[in-house]
Amino acid sequence: MSEFAFELELCAHLEARSDDVVARQLGASVADPGGRILDVVCLEPGPGFDDRAAITSETIPDAAIEADVGAGRARYWKDAFDCHPDRARRAMERACEIGFFEREYRNGRAYVRQVARYPDWYGRLVGIENKPDLGRPGDLEAQLRTDASLGLVDEVVLATESYVTRAHLHRIPNEVGVWRVHRDETTGSTGGALEVEVIREPEPLSVDEPGIEPLEYHPGRTEIAVVDPVEKERARRRLAERAYGKGWRTDGLPECGACRVDDSSGATLPYCSWKGRVVDASAECAPSCGGYEPTVDPHPGEEIDLEAERDRRTPWVADPDGRRRRQSGLDRFG
């Protein structure tokens, strides 16, 4: 299984077996933005999840959440943000576009308020690092040590297809859980449904305490940043928001007769009969492929709506009613 296929199929498997919001390829560093990308994040709904889902299906900008804008009296937007004016304007416009802010105009100036108070809506965050082949570990050990020392997510798991030896376990932090992922070849329409064998349970990480984020490695020393709990909580909220807005699904099926839906997990995955596996359609499927089968209607009778599928299978809400208040006469000035 390719790493891409492994990731998609694991996401579909996890989604089918819990009420978590599952997302993939999300930044999980604080001091060095983009320095650590988690393959998969599982977000456990918290007490205010339904209130959050009712606001918008999109990621709410962090600057809009932190702005001094409440659900009561509207404020002049420039007075509400404590960040660069360009970032403030982008956040304000996006918050209005997705329905987190509502806007009114007074003497040509925009005033904004939240449509609802931002809730305490997410619980545990679990990060999963996918490494199907432990014989090609890459930077695996350093990545997992970063996750364990930073403590941004509540738990970290390594998922692999490889047989896991004691030597493998000794090379990764004790806090990291280990799953062996394999197939039940007796079921499924294309290659068998996934099964997850727990080799080692993850240990809870200290998300409420300062974390250590490695920045650069040099011979004999490592540059680090100490991340305080307040910074970590803000980063956790950003991670949760991105997970909610993004999810894990990719594009639909390509216009190729060799590609069809793999529905063994109940989710729509692009399965190529020529390659014999799930594929990254955007990167692998093109007329230059040796198995390409051009066709006018490559998927007759198949209605593929990934947004509707996510809405149906998860707690995420595709088209919430929202909390926007309608005030007489104000829409004329939007």
Torsion on CA atoms 80, 82, 83, 88, rounded to nearest 10: -10
Rounded to 5°, the CA angle 24-265-28 comes to 10
Domain extents for the chain? 3-49+120-246, 61-117, 259-313
User: Which amino acid makes up residue 166?
Assistant: R
- Which residue did the predictor score with more confidence, 232 or 216? 232
- What's the pLDDT at 11? 96
- Which residue did the predictor score with more confidence, 325 or 270? 270
Starting at the earlier edge strand, list the strands of the sheet with 177-184.
21-27, 37-45, 122-130, 155-160, 177-184, 193-200
Cα 51 to Cα 71: distance, rounded to the nearest angstrom: 14
Q: Is there a contact between 40 and 7 (Cβ–Cβ < 8 Å)?
A: yes
- Which residue did the predictor score with more confidence, 253 or 32? 32
pLDDT digits (tens, 9 = 90+) for 116-160: 999 999 999 999 999 999 988 778 999 999 999 999 999 999 999
Can you tell me whether residue 85 is helix, strand or coil? helix
pLDDT digits (tens, 9 = 90+) for 8-42: 999 999 999 999 999 999 999 999 988 999 999 99
The mean predicted confidence, pLDDT, of the chain is 89
Q: Is there a contact between 231 and 30 (Cβ–Cβ < 8 Å)?
A: yes
The residue to which tokens 């492994």 are assigned: 6
Sign of CA dihedral 51, 54, 59, 64: negative
Cα 309 to Cα 269: distance, rounded to the nearest angstrom: 12
Helix ranges restricted to H, 61-156: 62-66, 77-80, 85-98, 140-150
Can you tell me whether residue 311 is helix, strand or coil? helix
The beta strands (E) that lie in 5-163 are given as 21-27, 37-45, 75-76, 101-106, 109-114, 122-130, 155-160
Q: Which of 45, 39, 77 is nearest to 61 (CA)?
A: 77
Q: What is the CATH number of domain 3-49+120-246?
A: 3.40.1350
- What's the pLDDT at 326? 44
Starting at the earlier edge strand, list the strands of the sheet with 269-272.
259-262, 269-272, 277-278
- What's the pLDDT at 220? 84
Cα 304 to Cα 252: distance, rounded to the nearest angstrom: 7
pLDDT digits (tens, 9 = 90+) for 45-70: 999 999 999 999 999 999 999 999 99
- What's the pLDDT at 253? 78
